């Protein structure tokens, strides 16, 4: 997601410690203390402007959510949504997903969402794809046993690559959809990219991959 530089973004994120977790390593092993209620924890990696994570938090008050995003100039828009909606069950982290095991204990996360991850189409950049095997190791490190990744994209190449990557890792593939918006999947919450690309006529691919 390319974004205008917003030099004030870091400062704004720091102004809302109730929503943006400033030193996430201090909560390793005790994330439930950060939320009002002790309940399952789902994280979205590459949360962008936060439409999905805030929509999910509103629709599922019995789940706690954390949106994780590398770019401060992007996540600051997610913060605006959360401030406006005053949601108690969603927090944000402005960090790199490569460092997730520094922030979460094994088994502390119940589900990972990856939505419209950057495709990195060149083979020499494959290691940067959020479904590359080193990322699958990272997610396995923090997820519960038999934890799941729920993945959506409009990019056919990334989808095919990811199905192979999940499968080669030994994961169980479930609910593979080659056209989410005409499927019978219920309760889909659109992301910013999903709306943009489906409006252009792109099909949306979705799958769930479970560790075993």
Catalytic residues: 118
Q: Which of 47/131 has CB closer to ligand SAM?
A: 47
Is 175 marked within a binding site? Answer: no
Q: Which of 108/129 has CB closer to ligand SAM?
A: 129
Is 122 marked within a binding site? Answer: yes
Is 12 marked within a binding site? Answer: no
Is 96 marked within a binding site? Answer: yes
Q: Residues interacting with ligand SAM, by CB under 6 A?
A: 1, 45-48, 68-71, 74, 96-98, 115-118, 191-194
- Listed in sequence order, the residues at least 6 apart from 184 whose beta carbon sits closer than 8 Å to its beta carbon are none
Strand partners, 44: 67, 113
For residue 185, the minimal CB distance to ligand SAM (Å) is 16
DSSP 189: -
For residue 27, the minimal CB distance to ligand SAM (Å) is 17
For residue 51, the minimal CB distance to ligand SAM (Å) is 7
Q: Which of 39/101 has CB closer to ligand SAM?
A: 101
Distances (CA, A) of 139 to 6, 78, 83, 179, 193: 30, 23, 28, 26, 23
In this structure, what is the dihedral angle of CA atoms 112, 118, 122, 125, given to the nearest 10 degrees? -60
Integer distance in angstroms from the first to the last C-alpha of the chain? 32
How far is the C-alpha of 143 from the C-alpha of 118, rounded, in Å? 22
Query: Which residues line the annotated binding site for S-adenosyl-L-methionine?
Result: 44, 69, 96, 118
Query: Which residues line the annotated binding site for substrate?
Result: 122, 154, 191-194
């Amino acid at each position: 997601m390319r974004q205008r530089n917003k030099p004030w973004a870091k400062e704004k994120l720091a102004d809302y410690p109730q929503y943006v977790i400033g030193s996430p390593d201090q909560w390793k092993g005790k994330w439930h203390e950060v939320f009002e209620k002790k309940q399952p924890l789902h994280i979205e990696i590459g949360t962008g402007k936060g439409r999905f994570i805030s929509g999910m938090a509103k629709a599922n008050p019995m789940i706690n959510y954390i949106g994780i995003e590398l770019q401060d100039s992007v996540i600051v828009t997610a913060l605006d949504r959360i401030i406006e909606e005053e949601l108690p069950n969603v927090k944000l982290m402005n960090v790199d997903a490569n460092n997730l095991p520094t922030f979460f204990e094994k088994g502390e996360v119940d589900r990972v969402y990856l939505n419209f991850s950057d495709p990195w189409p060149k083979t020499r950049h494959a290691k940067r794809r959020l479904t590359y095997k080193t990322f699958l190791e990272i997610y396995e490190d923090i997820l519960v046993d038999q934890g799941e990744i729920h993945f959506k994209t409009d990019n056919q190449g990334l989808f095919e690559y990811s199905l192979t990557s999940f499968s080669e890792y030994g994961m169980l593939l479930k609910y593979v959809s080659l056209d989410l918006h005409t499927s019978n999947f219920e309760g889909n919450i659109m992301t910013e990219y999903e709306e943009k690309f489906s409006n252009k006529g792109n099909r949306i691919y979705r799958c769930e991959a479970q560790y075993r």
